[in-house]
């Protein structure tokens, strides 16, 4: 089992999921994973910013808002196994999105402590 790393997973459904991800293999000879373990998976949605500052307009900057919500919002499970055949591709998130996820991860831990 490889160590966890933060990845963006594009599912065949078109959803984009950010999570700490680990490849699951059954033995050392297996070269490709049979599933992925997603820790605290969140759906990532982007939309054009509703409001731009005058400065952003003048500089022709058109930003996007990034929204992260728990992937299966009604589940208590924090670790979800995802079969490989559900996955279109896996990529590295840009730094800003990775940092946003890490900041949000701090609140998962706080919530777990409050609930635990």
What pLDDT, on the 0 to 100 scale, is given for residue 1?
Answer: 40
Q: Is pTM, for the whole model, over 0.85? A: no
What pLDDT, on the 0 to 100 scale, is given for residue 16?
Answer: 97
In SS3 terms, 23-60 reads as EECCCCCCCCCCEEEEEEEEEEEEEECCCCCHHHHHCC
- Residues near 59 by Cβ (< 8 Å), separated by ≥ 6? none
* CA–CA gap between residue 84 and residue 89 (Å, rounded): 10
β partners of residue 42: 18, 70
- Residues near 116 by Cβ (< 8 Å), separated by ≥ 6? none
What pLDDT, on the 0 to 100 scale, is given for residue 90?
Answer: 96
DSSP class of residue 62 equals: -
What pLDDT, on the 0 to 100 scale, is given for residue 12?
Answer: 97
pLDDT averaged over 10-residue windows placed end to end, the chain, 116 residues: 80 96 83 89 87 70 83 92 95 94 79 53
């Amino acid at each position: 089992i490889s160590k966890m790393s933060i990845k963006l997973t594009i599912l065949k459904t078109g959803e984009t999921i950010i999570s700490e991800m680990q490849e699951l293999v059954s033995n050392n000879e297996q070269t490709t994973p049979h599933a992925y373990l997603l820790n605290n998976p969140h759906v990532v949605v982007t939309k054009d910013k509703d409001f731009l500052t005058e400065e952003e307009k003048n500089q022709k900057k058109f930003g996007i808002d990034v929204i992260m919500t728990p992937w299966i919002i009604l589940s208590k499970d924090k670790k979800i196994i995802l079969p490989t055949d559900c996955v279109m591709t896996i990529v590295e998130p840009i730094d800003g999105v990775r940092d946003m996820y890490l900041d949000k991860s701090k609140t998962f831990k706080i919530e777990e402590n409050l609930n635990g």
